[in-house]
Structure 1
């Protein structure tokens, strides 16, 4: 037995959990207890109040049940009875936890000697919240939360995995929902310079709502501000980048061969012309006069590579054998080049996509996303991910940021389910403007958010676990993705484009490389012509 003075109430050993977490508080005016139970520090600390304990308050003085039930710590305690002697009667009250600070509920009353101790027991609260109204903070963020609007822009209904979950919980635990919209300028929330949190996390932390839900990642930084439910979904943080862009078609004539193959081809041309002239020089048979020229020898080898050489027949066996090998090599190279060139001209060639975090770091793209990701980048052990801390530009207008990604200026980080849903709509009708990087960050658990020490976690966690085990989350996710795509699809253009099975004519844009080669050849011929004119002897 202890006197409830300030020292006892502020001692952590008083509230330490044990096998028998039972407290009998005999109160008169209860000034010290009122001050302690209404302290904001007590409301967020389980070391200054045992929220899992079982309490009996004997109200023998001026402290009434209404005032006691309105105390912050008392309103969060599930197992608490208030016994109030009133004349010849004894009244037993229990706090109404939802809505917070509501008048207490009268459980039993006795007169004279009619007191029956077997009825003095805690009312089970794990199956029924007595049609209480729970305030829910959320915002539109598919596929977790999808809003269905009417013609006036009013929300008609809320769909999505998170909405399906809390509606299921509301039916099973007998409570109703009152939604509080989070501003799209704040979303999940962030910390201001004065230490105040805004957004969904801020509303839950400051107990303006009873729970928050909208694809909320479970992570240690936020765990200092609120309590999480049992995870009901899992997701990864990924980057969405611009889709690969078409390469300039003037490169088409060079694309069939790799650069190493081109180097080997030109080296063979240089060596082949010299060897041809050398074989002719050591031949014991009189060969055609044209083979004795170095320029003709190189022109002959180049002609064989294009399968259009001069009509000259070698006379000696040595030259015939060498020319046969040149023609065989040229046939293989020309056939391979021609066949591959058809493919490169028929199919538009794209730039190299960004597949890894290292490629993203060297791409020069600006990084955008919610400020939450800065804390995740900073906590990473990967130096590449840590380098994103200073590059990330916090944005809350994700729709505008998607436009910047499609324009090739930004890469956006968000959860993969959200990115897949949005990209599927924006990449409709064969136009691919967004691409999700295959390499993502670590997997995050997703859960509901409760104010610290809220009894809701004990009431709802067992049912959330049963929902997950039943596989309902995966079913809800598939349904909402199909619904969102059907509602967001662009139907103004009629039927989707259908690719024709007939051949496609090559246009000038696809063949511009060939004309560039022609222009380059004409320019080279003009240079040679000018050099010949300068070096030719002038008539006297």
Structure 2
């Protein structure tokens, strides 16, 4: 019933206003479109005629969901002959006479101002006229209805009436607010940021500058670029109107830019100037925190932060230079950083501070996230970050294994088979020879000892006498020379290189290892839960969120956890925190990484800066500045970290420098660690020899007892 009453009131008002403008004549097409429904005046938009009664003009069906709920009689604008009379219409006409004295005095001048304003600046725009009962039958509203623009008219009695405003027009949109008592309108302007056109042209016809200021500083008004205030200039004797515009990000929210006297402006100035191309040095608050290498802090010797730098700081500086504003950096609480969503739906940290409009911009590796978009706006992405897993470098293999590593297992087995067969064939040939072979080769043990010595390039000083055994021994020597040469060459490389076992490189291996996945906050846990890969989704069960970054490293150093974070941060951490003076890192990144994320700048919801930020970022990307700034920041930060580490560990670095000199000279002296396998073999031989001696002693005693 409420919607039907509103529809009927709008119909009554239109009849009154049209009667004053056109008398008893039929309405023109432009007047028919005064409800904002553009199209053929005799169809519904789908080819069907509206069943309007006699003496009525059919209108096109509206697209708005709210207006579709109105009664069909709203689609048919009844002319003067069919105008219904009721106590409601009588009351409406009675209230329409309550118009401020200053507006009545300057009414002719106001009509000229509205005509000039619409013809010069809003000729291609849709017009939405919102008014209260005091102006239901005013000349100002009637004048706006005479224009050829598509027009929507809304009679406002409560805040719910503002929901009828159509925001679907693709062309430019303008809104006229004509209120004697703007209390309802100002309450709507301060009620969140929904149902509002932040890019449209908003013309406010006010009684005083205070009302205009209240509108410009409201939740909706302070993010609207184009607000024009028309206020009677009571200080002038002539029929004059003071023209004000809003000033974004200034302490003084409105500024007088012109004056309308009778039928012309005092100065030929634009009524809708560009307010964002030059912010004239105003200070904007930017929230960030140290996150290497995107944002880094240059500190004094006592640890005090002197200034931030890095890729994203350079982005902010370039944007500030382009729009001429100053920057004041702020930090979220250390335990919140980007923030997380609470049970009541609000956010903590950077996202929470930005969503509450406490700062203007937010930068520091901020991922585009669907769960954050209801609370903040994003610029166009200027970077892509992959999320990877940081794990401890596996412990190197023991040096003694270097003796066996030059050949694969199958190669060693083949050599063993060759040794066994060579000794056996040599013994058989010596025994079956028609001419007696040397006594040395008549023993199986000595034949195997001879072939073993040949494999070690040290055969016994016994030469075979028969042709068959000579041929065999010759080919055994050739065979052993080839494989021993290959072994010695490969052994040199294995003795001088630290050998690493096969690392964990796949998501599947990580899942089966059961290791903890550490991360800051629960962002990555939610991302893992939405993954399609079953192993990635399974890692969500291993995930543990931390508040402080320093608490995650012990688990990785103890090889019981991995860290999930953006790739650049992990690479920088490895280079500056987990790399020895010799250049050997103790941490590594797994080859398989998580899904990449777009990185963008965060802005307030419906921020007027968004379009300007996007333009500047696109130019930066085209010029390759983002990549250049990253490389420069990475190099400076890495050198600073290493320089600090050298100062703190001077003695350790001096020891490493001697090693570096030997490496640079091309000579690597072998230490006991390199040759530990040789000494292991010697120890094993000694032990094995004593065991055989004990066996021989025991056998000898048994024989003496038996004798």
User: Quick check: TM above 0.5?
Assistant: yes
**Bigger helix share:** 2
**What is the CA–CA distance in structure 2 between the aligned matches of 1:127 and 1:103, rounded to whole Å?**
17
How far is 1:115 from its partner?
5.1
**What is the CA–CA distance in structure 2 between the aligned matches of 1:62 and 1:83, rounded to whole Å?**
9
- Show the counterpart of 1:272: 422
How far is 1:158 from its partner?
1.9
Say which SS state the counterpart of residue 540 (structure 2) adopts: coil
Deviations 1:120-141 (A, max 9, x none): 7212123122433211110112
User: Of 168, 190, 204, which residue of structure 2 is paired with 1:16?
Assistant: 168
Q: Given that residues 92 and 106 in structure 1 are in contact (C-alpha distance below 8 angstroms), is that contact kept between their aligned partners in structure 2?
A: yes
Deviations 1:323-342 (A, max 9, x none): 22222222222222222222
In the TM superposition, 1:182-331 aligns within 5 A as 182-331=332-481
**What is the CA–CA distance in structure 1 between the aligned matches of 2:511 and 2:304, rounded to whole Å?**
42
TM-score (norm 2): 0.69
How far is 1:402 from its partner?
4.6
**What is the CA–CA distance in structure 2 between the aligned matches of 1:362 and 1:534, rounded to whole Å?**
53
Most deviating of 365-374 and 108-117: 108-117
**What is the CA–CA distance in structure 2 between the aligned matches of 1:241 and 1:6, rounded to whole Å?**
58
**What is the CA–CA distance in structure 1 between the aligned matches of 2:688 and 2:279, rounded to whole Å?**
88
**What is the CA–CA distance in structure 1 between the aligned matches of 2:343 and 2:450, rounded to whole Å?**
78
Are 1:77 and 2:239 counterparts? Answer: no
- Show the counterpart of 1:95: 246
How far is 1:345 from its partner?
2.1
**What is the CA–CA distance in structure 2 between the aligned matches of 1:384 and 1:307, rounded to whole Å?**
53
- Show the counterpart of 2:679: 515
**What is the CA–CA distance in structure 2 between the aligned matches of 1:338 and 1:219, rounded to whole Å?**
58
Q: Given that residues 241 and 434 in structure 1 are in contact (C-alpha distance below 8 angstroms), is that contact kept between their aligned partners in structure 2?
A: yes
Most deviating of 51-60 and 134-143: 51-60
What is the root-mean-square deviation in Å for CA atoms of aligned residues?
3.0
- Show the counterpart of 1:373: 524
Q: 1:364 to 1:517 in 2, by over 3 A?
A: farther
Q: Given that residues 227 and 452 in structure 1 are in contact (C-alpha distance below 8 angstroms), is that contact kept between their aligned partners in structure 2?
A: yes
Q: Given that residues 188 and 201 in structure 1 are in contact (C-alpha distance below 8 angstroms), is that contact kept between their aligned partners in structure 2?
A: yes
**What is the CA–CA distance in structure 2 between the aligned matches of 1:277 and 1:417, rounded to whole Å?**
67
Say which SS state the counterpart of residue 508 (structure 1) adopts: coil
Are 1:418 and 2:569 counterparts? Answer: yes
Q: Given that residues 519 and 565 in structure 2 are in contact (C-alpha distance below 8 angstroms), is that contact kept between their aligned partners in structure 1?
A: yes
Unaligned runs of 5+ in 1: none
- Show the counterpart of 1:172: 322
Deviations 1:208-248 (A, max 9, x none): 21110112222333333311112223332233333353321
**What is the CA–CA distance in structure 2 between the aligned matches of 1:311 and 1:388, rounded to whole Å?**
66
In the TM superposition, 1:355-434 aligns within 5 A as 355-361=505-511, 365-371=515-521, 372-399=523-550, 401-402=552-553, 405-406=556-557, 408-426=559-577, 427=579, 429-432=581-584, 433-434=586-587
Are 1:181 and 2:331 counterparts? Answer: yes
**What is the CA–CA distance in structure 2 between the aligned matches of 1:239 and 1:152, rounded to whole Å?**
33
Q: 1:159 to 1:8 in 2, by over 3 A?
A: same
Unaligned runs of 5+ in 2: 1-152
Are 1:148 and 2:148 counterparts? Answer: no
Q: 1:430 to 1:104 in 2, by over 3 A?
A: same
TM-score (norm 1): 0.88
- Show the counterpart of 1:67: 214
User: Of 648, 661, 670, which residue of structure 2 is paired with 1:499?
Assistant: 661
> Looking at both structures, which has the greater relative contact order when contacts are Cα pairs under 8 Å and sequence separation is at least 6?
1
How far is 1:89 from its partner?
4.3
**What is the CA–CA distance in structure 2 between the aligned matches of 1:516 and 1:463, rounded to whole Å?**
67
